[in-house]
Amino acid sequence: RKVRVKVPASTANLGPGFDSLGMALNLYAWIDMAIAEKTSFHLIGDQMKGLPTDKSNLIYKVAQMVFEEAGVHHPELEIAMYSDIPLTRGLGSSASAIVGALAAANALVDNKLSNDQLFQIATRLEKHPDNVGASLFGGIVVAFWDGDRAEYIRLEPDEHLEALVAIPAFQLSTEKARGVMPQQVSMKDAVFNLSHSSLLVAALSTGNLDMIRHAMKDALHQPYRAPLIPGMSKILEEAVQHGALGAALSGAGPTILTLMDSRSGRKEELEAFLKDTLKAEHIEAEALWLKPS
């Protein structure tokens, strides 16, 4: 028996919601999994180049965790993966692989584990719940992880919400982008983020899209990460003047996320602004219009 799962990409943080907000986007990875005589991998497509094709493969290892938890003897697996989600760019590619592996393995054991159990495993692996939560549950996920349990609430995205992402051609590891952050922050910055993140969640959950303009601001991570992504600060500051509802670094970057109300009629203007700003910094980037998924 073969199972196939389709998992969305995700954008984490949405600006102020560091390690706590995530949104699924309609860019996907597919994982096929079947119990086999001997473990084998078919990693299809450019995104998969260079990933291990032995039992050190993340998908294989994650699947074995599900079998372990479900009390099923560790089987050999035939695994295939195809992904349109660019690697190490801040669009949750590793979270999508983890969630896909969990969901596929769970389907092979007749869904013995609940979604909540899968969420706990995925969060422990990623060390933050934002990307995995969005990939697993879809829509917008508000979550925390206290090192023990992860809790979340899923919000239905407004039907008019659209995202334009600029995906730079270079990779940036989450480790590096977390390494530049300070160990401590001021009370002022903490309160800044708390209030903006709360307002953002309220705006997203009530469909008050105009309020996103005021809420999508951050003092905890983006200012420190800005030097790693030339052009980012200008986009974050000025995207709203070009029709965006707000702009943020997507996860740990380097992808930059802008949100737009699909009724604004300013898509071309925003796309040109993003492209021109990055070009001026000699950053090659692909611009992609996406919808929450």
Residues that bind ligand HSE (CB under 6 A): 12-13, 18-19, 128, 130-131, 174, 178, 221, 251-252
Q: Where are the beta strands (DSSP E) in the chain?
A: 2-12, 21-36, 40-44, 76-83, 140-145, 150-155, 161-168, 246-249, 256-261, 285-290
Annotated binding-site ranges for ATP:
86-96
Annotated binding-site ranges:
86-96
Residue with Cβ nearer ligand HSE (178 or 267) = 178
CA distance linking residue 79 with residue 98, whole number of Å: 13
Say if residues 285 and 265 touch (Cβ distance below 8 Å). Answer: no
In angstroms, what is the minimal distance from the CB of 249 to ligand HSE?
8
Q: What is the CA radius of gyration of the chain?
A: 19
In angstroms, what is the minimal distance from the CB of 109 to ligand HSE?
28
Please compute, for residue 62, the number of CA atoms within 13 A of its CA located in the half-sphere on the CB side: 28
Residues in the chain: 293
In angstroms, what is the minimal distance from the CB of 5 to ligand HSE?
21
Residue with Cβ nearer ligand HSE (95 or 239) = 95
Residue with Cβ nearer ligand HSE (174 or 193) = 174
In angstroms, what is the minimal distance from the CB of 82 to ligand HSE?
22
Residue with Cβ nearer ligand HSE (199 or 248) = 248
In angstroms, what is the minimal distance from the CB of 187 to ligand HSE?
21
Residue 204's closest CA among 214, 219, 191?
A: 214
DSSP calls for 154-166: EEPPPTTEEEEEE
Residue with Cβ nearer ligand HSE (12 or 290) = 12
In angstroms, what is the minimal distance from the CB of 145 to ligand HSE?
11
Give the CA distances from residue 263 to residues 159, 161, 189, 258, 289, in Å, rounded to whole numbers and listed in that order.
Answer: 11, 9, 34, 15, 14
CA distance linking residue 178 with residue 176, whole number of Å: 5
In angstroms, what is the minimal distance from the CB of 244 to ligand HSE?
20
Residue with Cβ nearer ligand HSE (178 or 275) = 178
> What are the structure tokens assigned to 159, written together?
């039907």
Residue 78's closest CA among 93, 51, 56, 59?
A: 59
Residue with Cβ nearer ligand HSE (178 or 266) = 178
Say if residues 276 and 285 touch (Cβ distance below 8 Å). Answer: no
